Amino acid sequence: MDNRLGARELTLAYDGAPVVDDLHLDIADGSFTVIVGPNACGKSTLLKALARVLKPRSGSVLLDGAAIASYPTREVARRLGLLPQSPLVPPGIVVEDLVARGRFAHQRLLRQWSTEDAAAVADAMRLTQVTDLASRYVDELSGGQRQRVWLAMVLAQQTSIMLLDEPTTFLDLAHQIDVLDICAELHEGGRTIVAVLHDLNQACRYATNLVVMRGGVVVAQGPPADVMTADLVNDVFGVPCLVIPDPATGTPLVVPVDRSRRALLPQ
């Protein structure tokens, strides 16, 4: 199969009107899919539904050919991991313990810590470079360190599909690149990554597949070079811009143009 994860006629809502309406989406295996779109367009809502955290109002999410709702919860957790936009830090927990909780779906009451558990946690911490922080309290870490710890926790879950909701928000530039590089490394290692990002240029650099959303629907999808055009950005974000090749990578580079310089825009 080429797409282990996808959505069919997916309509999502909380209490009132639908937030996501009749959405179709296929997440190509081994892709680094990046979802972009204005605030409140339904990116987190979509990600939650893909991870079965939110029950669809209608339509379905397909995982490995079957409706995700038909799997036992734990089975889903062994195939697909989610880093929510704002997970809670349990009070008084240290890094190693938090990462270890990522193993829950693989454990049993009488199999609380297999050698695989130990290895998965050690690997996850090494990959995200938090091994040195192992005995630090999570609530005393900097934003960048903490985000790497959350990544380690999802990584310890050892799922081949990882959904990451705004893993770089609130981080300074160096830490954003840190986190994205870890994601790229995971992607190269064969995992399917689906991430919500805000920075369009980073999205274009790292994504193999870009999904652009607005108002709960997918307005464009495909390789960044095909999707990211000045018209699209103007359309979706309402920001006039130039799109030029990124001097470092050749991927599209979005250069917003402020009001006083509109004259520079090609007509």
Partner 1 sequence: MNAHLVLRIGPWSLRLRPRTVVVSSLLVAAALALAVVNLSTGDFPVPFPDVLRSLFGSASDGTAYVVRELRLPRVAVAMLVGAALGISGAIFQSLTRNPLGSPDFIGLTVGAATGALVVMLLLGGSGLSVAAGALIGCLITFGVIYLLAFRRGAQPVRLVLMGIGVSTMLAAFDTLLIVRAKLEEAMEAQRWLIGSVNTSTMVEVALIGGALLVLLPPLVRYGRELEMLSLGDEAAIAHGIRAERSRLVLAVISVTLAAVATAVAGPIAFVALAAPQLASRLTRAPGANIGAAAAMGAFLLTASDWIGRRVLPLDLPVGVVTAALGGLYLTWLLAGEWRRGRQLL
Which residues are near partner 1 by CB under 8 A? 48, 51-53, 73-78, 81-84, 86-88, 90-94, 96-97, 101-102, 104-105, 109-114, 118, 135, 157
Instruction: Report how far residue 193's alpha carbon sits from residue 13's, in angstroms, rounded to the nearest whole number.
Output: 25
Cβ-based nearer residue to partner 1, 104 or 170: 104
Q: Are strands 32-36 and 192-196 parallel, antiparallel or unpaired?
A: parallel
Can residue 43 be called a binding residue for ligand ADP (CB under 6 A)? yes
Residue 251 makes CB contacts below 8 A (sequence gap 6+) with 201, 204, 205, 224, 225, 245
Instruction: Report how far residue 47's alpha carbon sits from residue 85's, in angstroms, rounded to the nearest whole number.
Output: 10
54's tokens = 């939110």
Least distance from partner 1 to the Cβ atom of residue 242, Å: 38
Least distance from ligand ADP to the Cβ atom of residue 41, Å: 4
Cβ-based nearer residue to Mg ion, 103 or 146: 146
The gap from C-alpha 179 to its chain's centroid, in whole angstroms, comes to 11
Can residue 41 be called a binding residue for ligand ADP (CB under 6 A)? yes
Can residue 18 be called a binding residue for ligand ADP (CB under 6 A)? no
Cβ-based nearer residue to partner 1, 194 or 210: 194
Can residue 73 be called a binding residue for ligand ADP (CB under 6 A)? no
Can residue 236 be called a binding residue for ligand ADP (CB under 6 A)? no
> Interface with ligand ADP by CB under 6 A: which range of 32-40, 61-69, 92-100, 132-140?
32-40
Residue identified by tokens 């799997």 is 71
Cβ-based nearer residue to partner 1, 22 or 75: 75
Least distance from partner 1 to the Cβ atom of residue 92, Å: 4
Residue 254, classified by CB atoms within 10 Å of its CB into exposed (0-12), middle (13-18) or buried (19+), is: buried
Instruction: Report how far residue 135's alpha carbon sits from residue 203's, in angstroms, rounded to the nearest whole number.
Output: 33
The residue among 139, 143, 141, 132 whose CA lies nearest residue 166 is 143
Can residue 44 be called a binding residue for ligand ADP (CB under 6 A)? yes
Can residue 168 be called a binding residue for ligand ADP (CB under 6 A)? no
Residue 140 makes CB contacts below 8 A (sequence gap 6+) with none
Cβ-based nearer residue to ligand ADP, 14 or 104: 14
Least distance from partner 1 to the Cβ atom of residue 266, Å: 44
Cβ-based nearer residue to partner 1, 118 or 264: 118
Query: According to DSSP H, which parts of the chain are helical?
Result: 43-50, 73-79, 95-101, 115-127, 143-156, 173-188, 200-206, 224-227, 230-237
> Interface with ligand ADP by CB under 6 A: which range of 41-49, 58-66, 76-84, 167-175?
41-49
Can residue 45 be called a binding residue for ligand ADP (CB under 6 A)? yes
Residues that bind ligand ADP (CB under 6 A): 14, 19, 37, 39-45
